[in-house]
A and B are shown apart, each in its own frame.
Chain A
Amino acid sequence: MADPVVAIIGAGPAGVRAAAALVAAGVRPVVIDEAMRAGGQIYRRQPDGFTRSYTDLYGSEADRAKAVHDCFDALHGHVDYRPQTLAWNISDRRIFTAGPDGQQVLPFDALLLCTGATDRLMPVSGWHWAGCYSLGGAQIALKAQACAIGRRTVFMGSGPLLYLVAAQYAKAGAEVAAVLDTSSMSASVAALPRLLAQPATLRVGVGLLRDLRRAGVPIHRGITPVEIHGDADRGVSGVTVRTSRGDALTIDCDAAAMGHHLRPETQLAELAGCDFAFDAMVRQWLPVRDADGRSSQPGVYLAGDGARILGAVAAEAAGELAALTILADRGYRVSDTARQDARQAVARARRFAEGLARAYPWPHEQTSALGDATILCRCEAITVGDLRRTIAETGAEEANRAKAFSRIGMGRCQGRYCGLAAAELIAGAVGTPVEAVGRLRAAAPVKPIAIGSAGRCDR
Chain B
Amino acid sequence: MRVAEAGRSPITLFVDGIPAAALAGDTLMTAMLIANRSLRRSEFGGEARAGFCLMGACQDCWIWTEEGDRVRACSTPAVDGARLSTRQPATAWPTRS
Contact assessment for B48 and A130 in the assembled complex, using a CB-CB cutoff below 8 Å: yes
Contact assessment for B52 and A137 in the assembled complex, using a CB-CB cutoff below 8 Å: yes
Contact assessment for A174 and B77 in the assembled complex, using a CB-CB cutoff below 8 Å: no
Contact of B3 among A119, A130, A136, A174 (CB under 8 A): A174
Contact of A416 among B4, B9, B45, B57 (CB under 8 A): B57
Complex Cα spacing A133 to B29, Å: 13
Contact assessment for B51 and A137 in the assembled complex, using a CB-CB cutoff below 8 Å: yes
Smallest CB–CB gap between A433 and chain B, Å?
28
Complex Cα spacing A232 to B58, Å: 19
Q: Which stretch (A144-152, A185-193, A324-332, A391-399) binds chain B?
A: A144-152
Q: Which A residues, 374 to 391, have Cβ-Cβ distances below 8 Å to chain B?
A: 375, 378-381
Contact assessment for A34 and B37 in the assembled complex, using a CB-CB cutoff below 8 Å: no
Contact assessment for A47 and B25 in the assembled complex, using a CB-CB cutoff below 8 Å: yes
Q: Which B residues, 13 to 52, have Cβ-Cβ distances below 8 Å to chain A?
A: 24-27, 30, 33-34, 37-38, 42, 44-52
Interface size class of B (residues with CB under 8 A): 35 or more
Taking A141-B54, A378-B60, A379-B59 as contacts, is the C-beta distance between A147 and B48 under 8 angstroms? no
Q: Mark A25-55, 1 if CB is under 8 A from B, else 0.
A: 0000000001000000100001111111000
Smallest CB–CB gap between A79 and chain B, Å?
22
Chain B, residue nearest A230 (CB):
B47
Chain A, residue nearest B50 (CB):
A130
User: What total count of A-B pairs have CB within 8 Å?
Assistant: 136
Q: Which of A34, A52, A132, A145 has the most CB of B within 10 A?
A: A145
Q: Mark B47-86, 1 if CB is under 8 A from A, else 0.
A: 1111111111111101000000010001101000000000
B30 contacts which chain A residues (CB < 8 A)?
Answer: 141, 145, 147
Smallest CB–CB gap between B22 and chain A, Å?
11
Contact assessment for B51 and A148 in the assembled complex, using a CB-CB cutoff below 8 Å: no
In the complex, whether B1 has a CB less than 8 A from a CB of chain A is yes
Contact assessment for B25 and A130 in the assembled complex, using a CB-CB cutoff below 8 Å: no
Taking A49-B24, A128-B42, A145-B30 as contacts, is the C-beta distance between A133 and B55 under 8 angstroms? no
Contact assessment for B77 and A134 in the assembled complex, using a CB-CB cutoff below 8 Å: no
Complex Cα spacing A34 to B75, Å: 10
In the complex, whether A235 has a CB less than 8 A from a CB of chain B is yes
Contact assessment for B48 and A232 in the assembled complex, using a CB-CB cutoff below 8 Å: yes
Taking A47-B25, A380-B44, A413-B58 as contacts, is the C-beta distance between A134 and B53 under 8 angstroms? yes
Contact of A235 among B2, B50, B56, B74 (CB under 8 A): B50
Contact assessment for A235 and B1 in the assembled complex, using a CB-CB cutoff below 8 Å: no
Chain A, residue nearest B39 (CB):
A130
Complex Cα spacing A84 to B45, Å: 32
Contact of B37 among A41, A128, A130 (CB under 8 A): A130
Smallest CB–CB gap between A50 and chain B, Å?
5
15 A–B contacts from the bound complex (CB under 8 Å): A46-B5, A118-B53, A128-B47, A128-B49, A133-B52, A137-B51, A146-B6, A148-B1, A232-B46, A232-B47, A235-B37, A381-B42, A417-B53, A417-B57, A417-B58
Give the top 6 A-B pairs by smallest Cβ distance, nearest first.
A381-B44, A232-B47, A146-B5, A137-B54, A412-B59, A130-B50
